[in-house]
């Protein structure tokens, strides 16, 4: 499998692409995609990187692994293509944006417009077998995406990191908290949201307030 990624990221991640663990990872992913159904489509595995160049990144939202149902995953965490019904976690994200910023709830779950504004929608695991959540864990993706997070933290200033749920919060140790804003809350999944751990976090207005204070253009979340 030939890795295709935006040139701005290729410079940042060149050493990782050449490392033995990454070569093993690509061999594993290629084998999986050959032998069974996997998501997202191969050409979209690095879609988050292609839609949001390194220099453009202002906000980082972390997911865990891609949606594992047919047609859902397209390489941007929490996002689904046009025409696919938004999954429950994404519906709760939209509800929080509505409550926080009084914006209408979108009919499409495609978050590509966010990525084009500098929202880096990164899953920490970039591939998954069909109908098997977590099936590509501990194969090397976590090493790669931890390096991505570290490079964002080290090479940039004034980013907003949105870390939702216990898995994402573990990544705080990779981020320089003196240089960046870190927003944490429960996960937007119904299990967490219904226990009062998601709604009311106001992450989207807090993010935009921070960006404005830094002289940056706020994100149009609606």
- Give the strands of the sheet with 59-63, arranged side by side: 119-123, 59-63, 160-164, 181-185
Cα dihedral value 161, 166, 172, 177, nearest 10:
60
Determine if residue 131 is left, alpha or beta; phi over 0 gives left, psi from -120 to 50 gives alpha, anything else beta. left
Find the farthest-apart pair of alpha carbons in the chain and give their distance in angstroms, rounded. Answer: 50
Out of 24, 50, 65, 176, the active site residue is 65
Neighbours of 216 (CB within 10 A): 15
* 65 tagged catalytic: yes
Classify burial at 98, counting beta carbons within 10 Å of its beta carbon; exposed 0-12, middle 13-18, buried 19 or more.
middle
Q: Which helix (H) or strand (E) holds 192?
A: helix 190-193
Q: How far apart are CA 122 and CA 149, in angstroms?
A: 9
Element (H, E) at 108: none
Residues designated catalytic = 65
């Amino acid at each position: 499998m030939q890795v295709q990624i935006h040139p701005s990221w290729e410079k940042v991640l060149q050493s990782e692409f050449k490392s033995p663990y990454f070569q093993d990872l690509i061999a594993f992913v290629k084998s999986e995609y050959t032998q069974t159904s996997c998501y997202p489509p191969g050409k979209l595995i690095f879609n988050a990187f292609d839609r949001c160049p390194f220099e453009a990144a202002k906000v980082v939202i972390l997911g865990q692994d891609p949606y594992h149902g047919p047609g859902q995953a397209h390489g941007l965490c929490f996002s689904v293509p046009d025409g696919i019904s938004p999954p429950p976690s994404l519906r709760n994200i939209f509800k929080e944006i509505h409550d926080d910023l009084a914006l209408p709830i979108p009919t499409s779950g495609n978050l590509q417009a966010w990525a084009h504004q500098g929202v880096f929608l990164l899953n920490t695991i970039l591939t998954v077998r069909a109908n098997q959540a977590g099936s590509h864990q501990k194969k090397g993706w976590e090493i790669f995406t931890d390096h991505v997070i570290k490079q964002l933290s080290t090479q940039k200033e004034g980013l907003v990191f949105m870390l939702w749920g216990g898995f994402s919060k573990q990544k705080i140790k990779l981020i320089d908290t003196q240089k960046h804003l870190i927003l944490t809350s429960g996960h937007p999944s119904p299990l967490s949201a219904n226990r009062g751990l998601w709604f009311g976090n106001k992450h989207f207005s807090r993010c935009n307030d921070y960006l404005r204070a830094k002289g940056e253009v706020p994100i149009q979340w609606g």
